[in-house]
Amino acid sequence: MKPSRMKKQKRANAKKPTAKELMHASQPRKVFTSMTKRKPLMVSTAVVKHPVSSEKAIRLMESENKLVFVVDIKADKASIKHAIEDLFKVKVARVNTHIINGEKRAYVRFAAENPAIDIATNLGLM
């Protein structure tokens, strides 16, 4: 075979790089220096918008020592917990979140030494 024909055959048989390989070949590898990535906490007054005073919220307050708040959609559980503890000077046991109709609700359970009914009375819900 002619040398030019051999080159063409080698080029035809050579493995073509995939799009993923081409994309990652040009980018340098990122070096991770720390193990944890911490987000800055939001301002307490920007996190909590207002409390919810529905029948379900009142039932949760009486039976499970919980209050329900509408919070900022970008707030995470840690910033919600920090904001509630900062605003009301109470101990928070647990925070559950739920997004419904474009608003985020935080179901905040308080520690046994802080009854939710007392906090609701201070807020004017009761």
Q: Where are the domains of the chain?
A: 44-123
Task: Compute the Cα dihedral for 49, 53, 57, 61 and give only its sign.
Answer: positive
Cα separation, 111 vs 65, whole angstroms: 8
When mean pLDDT is compared across 18-27, 74-83, 93-102, the lowest value belongs to 18-27
Q: Give the Cα separation of 103 and 42 in Å (integer).
A: 17
List, for residues 36-63, the tens digit of each pLDDT value.
666 676 788 899 999 999 999 999 999 9
* pTM for the predicted model, two decimal places: 0.68
| The CATH number fitting domain 44-123, selected from 1.25.40.10, 3.40.250.10, 3.30.70.330, 2.40.110.10 | 3.30.70.330
Contact 42, 80 (CB under 8 A): no
